[in-house]
Amino acid sequence: RLPWKMGVYLFTFDTYPSFTVLPSLTAQATPLLLQRLRIGDRPDRYSPLKNKLVQLGAKPYTAEPSKEIDWYATAKTGRLQAKVFETSNQDTFTIALNLSAPSGYGLHQQFETFIEQAAFLISELIKEGCKIELFLNRLDGANRMTHLSLQEGQPQLKHVLMTLSTVSTRDSFIATQQFERYVLRRKHMNSQLIQIGNDRILAIG
């Protein structure tokens, strides 16, 4: 298994103990772009999970951005209120994790960083109720690309983490250009593409 410094350890015992080390979900050394991708503070004009054209009502203010304060409702109730928007349909994301070295052979020297960034990002999006699919440029025993189809919730997060925990230096990886073409052909039609790996920590397609 990969020598993760942090993460969740799962133990199973048969004749000898075995360990499955899951990627860490902490935001250590998270690049600024990844921080801005977190829901409510995106580089886009609006959050992808809220339809700013349709306000459903108001709720007690917690930690929403100031532009989402409902001043009319605040004046009416005497307590700070935040706007409640209709859920947007832009809640699907395709994560393309490319672990190839720039030369196209073997693992990138930052592959552990890329895996942890992908795990953290997926966990944050799933917390927000997003649907996630994952492409990993690793071939399995039948020479098929690793692909987790579009799902949501904690079962999908567990599936993602277990898949990432099995990455090995002995695996075969597809070169960047071939991988990117494959993802564009096979990704969910309406999902937003996020690329992690190679010489990029994070790129939004």
59-69 pLDDT, tens per residue? Answer: 999 888 888 89
Q: Give the model's pLDDT for residue 147.
A: 94
Q: How confident is the model at residue 175 (pLDDT cuts 50, 70, 90)?
A: confident
Query: H or E stretch including 15?
Result: none
* Average pLDDT over the chain, rounded to an integer: 76
Closest CA to 63 of 82, 45, 46, 44: 82
Degrees, nearest 5: CA angle 21-178-22: 5
As a residue count, the chain comes to: 205
Q: How confident is the model at residue 125 (pLDDT cuts 50, 70, 90)?
A: confident
Q: How confident is the model at residue 156 (pLDDT cuts 50, 70, 90)?
A: very high
Model confidence, pTM:
0.63
139-162 average pLDDT score: 89
- At 75-100, the pLDDT tens digits run 999 999 998 876 554 578 899 999 98
Least confident of 54-58, 133-137, 184-188: 54-58
Dig out the tokens for 21 from the structure. Answer: 């080390």
Check pLDDT > 80 for residue 47.
no
> Which class for 18: exposed (0-12), middle (13-18), buried (19 or more C-beta within 10 A)?
exposed
Closest CA to 149 of 167, 135, 163: 135
174-180 average pLDDT score: 88
Least confident of 15-24, 109-118, 154-163: 15-24
Q: Give the model's pLDDT for residue 171.
A: 85
Q: Give the model's pLDDT for residue 3.
A: 46
Q: Give the model's pLDDT for residue 21.
A: 57
